[in-house]
Structures are given as structure tokens and as C-alpha cells.
């Protein structure tokens, strides 16, 4: 009973209030910027947010290859646009060209950052309210939505794969708005710092690592459609507000911080950081790739030069049962979530150029560690429900969660 009260009535409002206030606080006062702020943003910020949203939306409605995501237990197969890498390359090139041609400047965007976040916030709240009403009144698929307290429904979302104006909402908010905003802001803050403080290799390394990471994301975007964000999380405050506001603010925070606090890290250390970060990104990609490759070939493939080994499972669906496989070769035979470890190491690497300024520039790395450790348990709960005894068997064969022989 007490757990239910906490989960349904206390947790959601506390999370909503604290995250909304935190992003504005950090960017307003957290790094000595004295910026003006209004709860709605300003004309400039609405132009920026409107342009980004329109661009993101256009990328999903132009004709092109489609990708079918994993079918839900209720038999719904979501459709996505498979043009992630092209979208990333064109967007980044256009942004760099515009920064060079100066119809707007990196400093303008930096000085209006809190307004931009305020506009993102308004947009995200409107969207989440709409998603709640849509999920309650006319859900788009046969996905069963159990009635829960209103604030919980708003926070966790109602539908798994809602579509608006012909596009998948989570592909729009997560892939095309949130992650693109992350990339463009990181480049923007690097240029702003260059203008204000001179060129810094350490800041360059931080921006370069995040660019490589995000390029890798867009290269692998179709793989993202099989992850927890898409298959487990319903479209609501947690995931949609998260991608529209939290990602552009919190994920870019160490880069933003370096604009007013020039990096103290010397060039040799910067290149060491680059090597650490680059290898971590490669490893994270390789581990995700092994699972995707294994799933694409339905187990008939080679991993680490040997025939892939797996546990064959029978899982229940809404219409009966079906076969599935759990990989136990390669990195998926070393630990159940080794990909998260390299994700955290990569994040530490691109925050490290802020070394010497206390916890602030490292906030993203700390947050990500908490998020991913929590996610390990969320994923295991999901897999245990889905695979039952086969998951227990997998955990016996691969006993470590994150780091072999440690945890």
C-alpha cells in the first residue's frame, strides 16, 4: 500500500517538479550566466524551437525507406523512417554552414539558452497533455492501457507507439528533436567558447566525442527501435519531456559550462581523453551491434569467429506463444549489460574537459550512472516477465549484470 502511494501519487509529482525546476536552475544560475528568463521563452527561442521541430517533422514525412519495429505482444508493428544518418549529416552540415554565414551566431543561441529551454518546456507540456488525452480517449492501437491515477498516467504515458500527423511520436521527440538538439548545442557551445575564450583542444575533444557518439547513434537508429525507450516506455512526461527538455539541457550541460569556465585540461591529457572516449564509444557500439546482428540473423550467425550460442525460449504473446533466443556468446556472454559500462565511460570522457571545476561539469556522467544502474533493474524485471524460466537460466549462465566478476 505504502509502495503504491509512493509509486502512483508521490513519485510522479516530485519528479515532474524537481526535473522542471532543475533544468532551468542549472542553466540560469548554475554556471554564473546572468540571463533573463521567462516561463514561456521569447520570440527568438520560439523561432529556434519551431524551426527545429519543423525540420525534425519534415525528415519523417519525406518519401523514403521505412523500417518495421518489433511487433508488440498485441500484434502491432510500428513503422519508422529509416533515414537517420542522412538526417544527421545534412542537419549538422547545414548548422555549421549557417554558423559560418551568420544569419544567427553561436553567442546568440548561448545567451538565449534558458529561453530556448523554456520554449521546449512549454512545447513538451502541451504534447504530454495531448498524449494523455489521446491515450485515454482514442488510442491508436489495441495496446491495453490500464487505468491508473491521473498524475501517474501523465508521467509514464498511455500509449507505447502513438502517431501524430502521420509520424511516430517517439521517433520525432527522441531521435529527431532531442538528440539533434544535443548535437547542435554541443557544437554551438564549442564555437561560443572559442569566440569568448580562444580555441581549446580539450573543449574540441569533448564536442568531437559527443559528435562521434551521436553519429554512431544515427547510423544505428533502427537498432534503437528495439530498445527499452521504444518497446517498454509509453509516450508521456518521462520519455517525451525527457527528450524534448532534459536531453537538450542536461546532456549538453558540461559543454555549456565550459563556455563560462574555459577548460583547465592540457593538450596531452585532452588527447588521452579522446582515446578513452573513442574506444568506449566503439565498444558500446560493438556490443549493441552483436545483439542486433544476432537478432537480424535469428541466431544463425558467427560471433567472435564462432557459431553464436544461445538459449532457446518460448514466450507468451497475446495470441499464443512464439520462439525467441537469448544470446550467450561474445560480450553478451560476459555480462548482461556490458554496453552500459562503456556508455558511462564515454560520458565520463566527454565530461572530463571540465575537470577542476568540481561536480558541475561532471553532472551528466553521474546522472547517467544512476540512470543506467536503475535501467539494469528495470530491464531485468521486463525480461524476467517476458522470458520467465529462460531468463533465470540465462542469469545462471551469465551471472554478472554490469562488470564481469564484480557486479
> Which of 169/341 has CB closer to ligand NDP?
341
164 has which bridge partners? 167
Query: Of the candidates 284, 330, 331, 351, which one interacts with ligand NDP according to CB under 6 A?
Result: 284
Nearest to 257 by CA among 155, 185, 167: 185
Q: Are 140 and 168 in contact (CB under 8 A)?
A: no
- Closest-by-Cβ residue to ligand NDP is 227
Binders of ligand NDP among residues 218 to 237 (CB under 6 A) are: 226-228, 231
Closest contact distance (angstroms) between CB of 343 and ligand NDP is 3
Residue 203 or 337 having the CB closest to ligand NDP: 337
Three cell numbers written together for 328: 550467450
Given candidates 215, 301, 383, 395, which one binds ligand NDP under the rule CB under 6 A?
383
Residue 98 sits in the site that holds ligand NDP (CB under 6 A): no
Q: Which of residues 115-154 bind ligand NDP (CB under 6 A)?
A: none
Choose between 201 and 332: whose C-beta lies nearer to ligand NDP: 332
3-state percent helix, strand, coil for the chain, nearest multiple of 5: 65, 5, 25
Question: How far from chain centre, in Å, is Cα 168?
Answer: 16
User: What is the rounded distance in angstroms from the CA atom of residue 95 to the CA atom of residue 89?
Assistant: 10
Q: Which x/- pattern over 352-371 shows residues binding ligand NDP (rule: CB under 6 A)?
A: ----------------x---
Nearer to ligand NDP, 164 or 371 (CB): 371
Interacting residues with ligand NDP between 243 and 282 (CB under 6 A): none
Q: Work out how close the CB of 132 gets to ligand NDP at its nearest, in angstroms, rounded to a whole number.
A: 24
Task: For residue 315, count other CB atoms closer than 10 A to its CB.
Answer: 15
x/- map, 310-349, ligand NDP, by CB under 6 A: ----------------xx----x----x-xx--x------
Cell numbers that stand for 175 in this block: 531521435
Binding region for ligand NDP (CB under 6 A) out of 33-41, 106-114, 351-359, 375-383: 375-383
Those residues whose C-beta lies under 8 Å from the C-beta of residue 149, and which sit 6 or more positions away, are 8, 9
Angle at 180 between CA 176 and CA 186, to 5 degrees: 170
Report d(CA 269, CA 201) in Å as an integer: 10
- Of 136, 148, 286, 382, which lies in the binding site for ligand NDP, with binding defined by CB under 6 A? 382
Q: How far apart are the C-alpha atoms of 47 and 157, rounded to whole Å? A: 28
Q: Binding residue for ligand NDP (CB under 6 A) from 7, 79, 286, 375?
A: 375
HSE, side-chain direction, 13 A CA sphere, residue 390: 18
Task: State the residues that interact with ligand NDP by CB under 6 A.
Answer: 226-228, 231, 284, 288, 291, 326-327, 332, 337, 339-340, 343, 368, 375, 379, 382-383
Amino acid at each position: 500500500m505504502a509502495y503504491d502511494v509512493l509509486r502512483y501519487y508521490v513519485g510522479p509529482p516530485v519528479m515532474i517538479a524537481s526535473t522542471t525546476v532543475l533544468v532551468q536552475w542549472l542553466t540560469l544560475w548554475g554556471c554564473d550566466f546572468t540571463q533573463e528568463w521567462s516561463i514561456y521563452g521569447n520570440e527568438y527561442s520560439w523561432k529556434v524551437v519551431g524551426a527545429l521541430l519543423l525540420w525534425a517533422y519534415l525528415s519523417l514525412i519525406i518519401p523514403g525507406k521505412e523500417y518495421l519495429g518489433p511487433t508488440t505482444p498485441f500484434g502491432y508493428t510500428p513503422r519508422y523512417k529509416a533515414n537517420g544518418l542522412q538526417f544527421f549529416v545534412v542537419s549538422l552540415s547545414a548548422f555549421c554552414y549557417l554558423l559560418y554565414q551568420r544569419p544567427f551566431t553561436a553567442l546568440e543561441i548561448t545567451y538565449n539558452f534558458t529561453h530556448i529551454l523554456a520554449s521546449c518546456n512549454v512545447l513538451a507540456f502541451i504534447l504530454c497533455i495531448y498524449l494523455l488525452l489521446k491515450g485515454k480517449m482514442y488510442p491508436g492501437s489495441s495496446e491495453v492501457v490500464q487505468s491508473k491515477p491521473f498524475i501517474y498516467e501523465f508521467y509514464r504515458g498511455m500509449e507505447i507507439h502513438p502517431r501524430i500527423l502521420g509520424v511516430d511520436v517517439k521517433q520525432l521527440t527522441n531521435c529527431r528533436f532531442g538528440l539533434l538538439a544535443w548535437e547542435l548545442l554541443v557544437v554551438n557551445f564549442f564555437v561560443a567558447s572559442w569566440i569568448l575564450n580562444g580555441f581549446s583542444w580539450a573543449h574540441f575533444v569533448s564536442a568531437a566525442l559527443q559528435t562521434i557518439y551521436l553519429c554512431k547513434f544515427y547510423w544505428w537508429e533502427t537498432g534503437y527501435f528495439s530498445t527499452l525507450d521504444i518497446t517498454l516506455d509509453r509516450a508521456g512526461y518521462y520519455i517525451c519531456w525527457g527528450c524534448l527538455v532534459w536531453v537538450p539541457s542536461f546532456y549538453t550541460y558540461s559543454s555549456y559550462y565550459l563556455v563560462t569556465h574555459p577548460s583547465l585540461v592540457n593538450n596531452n591529457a585532452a588527447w588521452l581523453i579522446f582515446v578513452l572516449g573513442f574506444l568506449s564509444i566503439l565498444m558500446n557500439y560493438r556490443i549493441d551491434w552483436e545483439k542486433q546482428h544476432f537478432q537480424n540473423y535469428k541466431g544463425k550467425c558467427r560471433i567472435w569467429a564462432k557459431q553464436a550460442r544461445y538459449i532457446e525460449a518460448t514466450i507468451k504473446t497475446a495470441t499464443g506463444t512464439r520462439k525467441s533466443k537469448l544470446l550467450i556468446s561474445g560480450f553478451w556472454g560476459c555480462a548482461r549489460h556490458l554496453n552500459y559500462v562503456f556508455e558511462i565511460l564515454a560520458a565520463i570522457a566527454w565530461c572530463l574537459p571540465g575537470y577542476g571545476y568540481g561536480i558541475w561539469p561532471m553532472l551528466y556522467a553521474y546522472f547517467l550512472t544512476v540512470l543506467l544502474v536503475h535501467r539494469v533493474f528495470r530491464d531485468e524485471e521486463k525480461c524476467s516477465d517476458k522470458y520467465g524460466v529462460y531468463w533465470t537460466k540465462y542469469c545462471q549462465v551469465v551471472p554478472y549484470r554490469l562488470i564481469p566478476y564484480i557486479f
